[in-house]
Amino acid sequence: MTARESTNPRYSVLLVEDDEPTRAHLARAIDAHPRLDLIAARGTVTEARDDLVAGKPDVLLTDLGLPDGNGIELIRFAREATPGSQIMVVTVFGDEKNVISSIEAGASGYLLKDGTSEAIGESVMQLMEGGSPMSAPIARRLLERFRSDATTDPLLGAEGDSEVMRARATLTARETEILRLIAKGFTFPEIASLLSISAHTVTSHVRHIYEKLEVNSRGEAVYEAVQRGLIRMDD
């Protein structure tokens, strides 16, 4: 078992959560996991920024509502300051909208505050091994999001001849199919067997969907900036 552990890398985790019992619960869960090292558990954006820059953690686990700022800002900051860090959002059930905003800001996963200790550790590990979680309600929302992107885009209009438009990512047929199955409640292994593909393929499809969402969100930001004259495309 020791030998096996040594072949597997260990990951450092920075936890940002302002609610103390939840912070303690999460900290315990991470601490308990054999392959996760908690480098700090913070309650504010300011402290977390310093730790991010100083510690360059492998994983940033952050809450969204923080006393001195928004977790989304912290996620953006982490994408710039420590591009190597994977980002996970700590959330409660029924908060899919914020999860999607976080993904758009650069998060690659989320975990539920009230999950069991094992579930929390496993979620982080899955993320580090290339998997991103995807619940049925989030899948349903993403399907809607990409569908409306494909038909009418309020920002780009009908012409869509700009570079931004060309850079715009749409879902492949397979990705759409997977999202539909997730929305109906099927698990990744079930989807793999239904589609006769490997579980790993399903995981990487989901990860791609995450990336596309972030790319589109950036594209929108760029387009908006161009429209407002903040950026010139020929620069």
Binding site for other proteins (CB under 8 A): 93-94, 96, 114, 116, 119, 135-137, 139-140, 182-187, 190
Helix (H) or strand (E) segment spanning residue 173: helix 173-183
Q: Minimum distance from CB of 78 to other proteins (Å)?
A: 27
Q: Minimum distance from CB of 47 to other proteins (Å)?
A: 31
Q: Please, which residue, 116 or 198, has the CB nearer to other proteins?
A: 116
Q: Please, which residue, 10 or 97, has the CB nearer to other proteins?
A: 97
CA-CA distances (angstroms) from residue 132 to 17, 22, 53, 204? Answer: 21, 22, 25, 8
Q: Please, which residue, 8 or 187, has the CB nearer to other proteins?
A: 187
11-16 and 59-62 beta bridge pairing: parallel
Q: Minimum distance from CB of 225 to other proteins (Å)?
A: 33
Q: Please, which residue, 119 or 155, has the CB nearer to other proteins?
A: 119
Q: Minimum distance from CB of 137 to other proteins (Å)?
A: 5
CA-CA distances (angstroms) from residue 188 to 78, 92, 173? Answer: 29, 21, 17
Angle CA 29–131–60, to nearest 5: 50
